[in-house]
Amino acid sequence: MRSVQFGNRPSAVSLAGLVLSVCAALPACTVGPDYVKPAVSVPANYKEAAADGTSWKVAQPGDRASRGKWWTVYNDPLLNALQDVMTSSNQDLRLAESRYRQARALVAGARSSYLPTVTAGASVSRFRNSGNAFGTPASNIGPANNFALPLDVSWELDVWGRVRRAVESSEASAQAFAADLETVRLSLQAELAVNYFLLRGIDSERQLLDVTLVAYRKAHELTINRHEGGAASDADVAQAETQLRTAEAQAVDLRVQRAQLEHAIAVLIGKTPAEFSMPQAGLDSLPPDVPLAMPSELLERRPDIASAERQMASANAQIGVAKAAFYPTISIGASAGFESSKASNWLDWPSRFWSIGPAAALTVFDAGRRRAVSDQAQAAYDGTVAAYRQTVLTAFQDVEDNLAELAILAEEAQAEELAVKAARRSVAQTTNRYQAGAASFLDVVVAQTFALANERAAVDIARRRMMASVRLVKAMGGDWSVADLPAGNAPVAQRDEKK
C-alpha cells in the first residue's frame, strides 16, 4: 500500500484557496487576430437591370415575407406539391442535414473544454515490493493488498484563449454547414422547378407536334388524292410522306426527353422512377415579376456567400488556436478518494486521501512544428478570404446573367411571335395556291417546315424564360436571409413550414 502524508487541515484549505486565487488573478487574454469581415466590391446597381428598357422593381422589406415559399409565385399547384415532398424526402438534403448535425456536435465537444474533466475509478490489487530495492523497509515488502477508489479532476485554464478560439472556430464552422444546408435546399428547389418547366415545355412541343401531325396527314391525303386525279406527281406524294414521317419521329423523340426528366423529378422527391409519373400539361404561363434586392443586400441573401463568410471566420479563429501553442499550458489537477490495504476499512474516513495543485508546461523546442502550424492556419485563412470574394463575384455574375437572359428572351419572344404569325399566314396562302394548282407541293413543304420551326422556337423561348426566372430567384437567394443562420450550435429552424 502506498504511503500518503497528510498536512493539517488549515494548511490544505489555504493551499486550495491560494491556487484558485492565483488562477483567478491570471490575466486572461485571447491571442490571435479578432475577426473582421474583409471588404468586397459591391456595385451600386445591376448592369442588366434595365436591359429590356424597363425598370425592375426593387424588393421591399415586405416582399420577402409575402413570398414565403418562393416557388408559389408560379401559381402551379402540382409544382407546389412536388416541392413539399422534395423538402421532406430528398436524400441529398438529408445528407447535408446530417453534416450540419455533425458540426453541431463538434461545437458541443469544443465547449466541453471550458469545464474540468472528472474521472472516477476503482481498483483492487495484490502486490509484493522488491526486498532488494534501496530503502525498502522489510515491513513494506509484502505481499499486501491495495484497495483504491480515486476521483481525479483536471482543468486546463484558458489563459491564452485557446479554448475560446476553438469554440469560436467550431461555432462559425457549424454556421457554415447550416448555410451549406440551405444552399443545397435552394439548389434542389431550383433544380426541381427547372426540370418541371423543362418537362412542361416538352409537353407543349408534343401538343404542337400533335396538331402539326393532323395537318400533315391531311396534306398527305390531299396529295394522294391529287395524284390519283393526275394533278400531283409521285414526287409530291413522297415529299408529303417524308414530311409526315419526320414529324412523327420528332414526336417520338420527345418521349425520350420527357421520360428522363420525369425520372429526374422522381429521384429529387425521393422516389424511384417506377413510383412516379406526371400527367401531360403544356407550358402556358409567363415568368412572374421577381423583385430585385439591391446589390448590397445580395450578400445577406445568398446562403453560399454566408457559408464562405463563416468559413472565413472559422479559419481566422484557428490562427488564434495555433498561436496559443506558443504559450505555456496552465492547468489545475486534483485527486481525492479512499485507499486501504483492507477491504473492511476501505471506505472509512481515515482511508481518505487528496491532493490539489497547479501545473504549467511549455514546449521549448519542437523544430519549427508550431511555427509551421501557425503558418498553415494563416495560409488557410487567406484561402478562405479569396474563396469568399470569388463567391461574391460569382453571385453577382449569376444575377446579371439571368437578368440579361430574361430581358433578351422577352425581346426575342416578341419577335418570334410575329414570325409565327407570318409563318402561319404563309402556310395558309401556299396551301391555297397549291390546291388551285398555282404552286408546287415543295412550296407547301417549305412553308410548313418554317412554320413548325418557328412554333417550336417559340415554345423553346417560353421554356427558357421560365428556367431563367427560376435561376434568377436562386441567384437572389430565394427567400433566405443571413438572419436565418442559427446561433452557435442551435438547430436550423424548419423554414420550409413558413407560409
CATH number of the domain residue 9 falls in: 2.20.200.10
Task: Give the per-residue pLDDT at 489.
Answer: 62
Among 305, 337, 361, give the residue marking a domain's end: 361
Task: Give the per-residue pLDDT at 5.
Answer: 39
Least confident of 86-100, 169-183, 432-446, 451-465: 432-446
372: pLDDT strictly greater than 70: yes
25: pLDDT strictly greater than 50: no
Task: Give the per-residue pLDDT at 139.
Answer: 64
475: CATH:
1.20.1600.10
Q: What is the mean pLDDT of the chain?
A: 85
Same domain? For 123 and 111 the reply is: no
Task: Give the per-residue pLDDT at 229.
Answer: 83
For residue 134, name the pLDDT band (cuts at 50, 70, 90). low
Record the cell numbers describing residue 40, joined without a space. Answer: 468586397
Domain limits for position 172: 31-115+160-327+368-497
Among 361, 383, 408, give the residue marking a domain's end: 361
For residue 354, name the pLDDT band (cuts at 50, 70, 90). very high
Same domain? For 420 and 323 the reply is: yes
> Which one has a higher pLDDT value, 231 or 358?
358
Record the cell numbers describing residue 309, joined without a space. Answer: 463568410
For residue 59, name the pLDDT band (cuts at 50, 70, 90). low
Task: Give the per-residue pLDDT at 490.
Answer: 65
202: pLDDT strictly greater than 50: yes
How far from chain centre, in Å, is Cα 275?
Answer: 27
1: pLDDT strictly greater than 80: no
Phi, psi values for residue 345, rounded to 5°? -120, 25
52: pLDDT strictly greater than 80: no
How far is residue 302's CA from residue 474's CA, in Å, rounded to a whole number? 8
Task: Give the per-residue pLDDT at 475.
Answer: 93
Same domain? For 317 and 211 the reply is: yes
Overall average pLDDT of the 408-434 stretch: 92
Task: Give the per-residue pLDDT at 499.
Answer: 36
221: pLDDT strictly greater than 50: yes
Same domain? For 96 and 5 the reply is: no
Task: Give the per-residue pLDDT at 71.
Answer: 92
SS3 letters for the chain? Answer: CCCCCCCCHHHHHHHHHHHHHHHHHCCCCCCCCCCCCCCCCCCCCCCCCCCCCCCCCECCHHHHHHHCCHHHHHCCHHHHHHHHHHHHHCHHHHHHHHHHHHHHHHHHHHHHHHCCEEEECCEEEEECCCCCCCCCCHHHCCCEEEEEEEEEEEEEECCCCHHHHHHHHHHHHHHHHHHHHHHHHHHHHHHHHHHHHHHHHHHHHHHHHHHHHHHHHHHHHHHHHHHHCCCCCHHHHHHHHHHHHHHHHHHHHHHHHHHHHHHHHHHHCCCCHHHCCCCCCCCCCCCCCCCECCHHHHHHHCHHHHHHHHHHHHHHHHHHHHHHCCCCEEEEEEEEEEEECCCCCCCCHHHEEEEEEEEEECCCCCCCHHHHHHHHHHHHHHHHHHHHHHHHHHHHHHHHHHHHHHHHHHHHHHHHHHHHHHHHHHHHHHHHHHHCCCCCHHHHHHHHHHHHHHHHHHHHHHHHHHHHHHHHHHHCCCCCCHHHCCCCCCCCCCHHHCC
86: pLDDT strictly greater than 50: yes
Same domain? For 136 and 264 the reply is: no
Task: Give the per-residue pLDDT at 324.
Answer: 93
Please answer whether residues 339 and 147 qualify as being in contact, where contact means their C-beta atoms are separated by less than 8 angstroms: yes
Among 340, 361, 382, give the residue marking a domain's end: 361
172: pLDDT strictly greater than 80: yes
Same domain? For 105 and 3 the reply is: no
Task: Give the per-residue pLDDT at 175.
Answer: 94
How far is residue 20's CA from residue 358's CA, in Å, rounded to a whole number? 9
Tell me the per-residue pLDDT of 294-332, one tens digit each, with 9 for 90 and over: 888 888 889 999 999 999 999 999 999 999 999 999 999
Same domain? For 241 and 383 the reply is: yes
Overall average pLDDT of the 245-273 stretch: 94
Tell me the per-residue pLDDT of 265-292, one tens digit each, with 9 for 90 and over: 999 999 999 999 999 998 888 888 877 7
Q: What is the pTM of this model?
A: 0.84
Same domain? For 417 and 340 the reply is: no
Same domain? For 143 and 212 the reply is: no
Task: Give the per-residue pLDDT at 6.
Answer: 38
Least confident of 27-36, 52-61, 329-338, 407-416: 52-61
The domain total for the chain is 2
67: pLDDT strictly greater than 60: no
Same domain? For 334 and 380 the reply is: no
Same domain? For 263 and 175 the reply is: yes
For residue 150, name the pLDDT band (cuts at 50, 70, 90). very high
126: pLDDT strictly greater than 90: no
Same domain? For 142 and 39 the reply is: no
Task: Give the per-residue pLDDT at 304.
Answer: 94
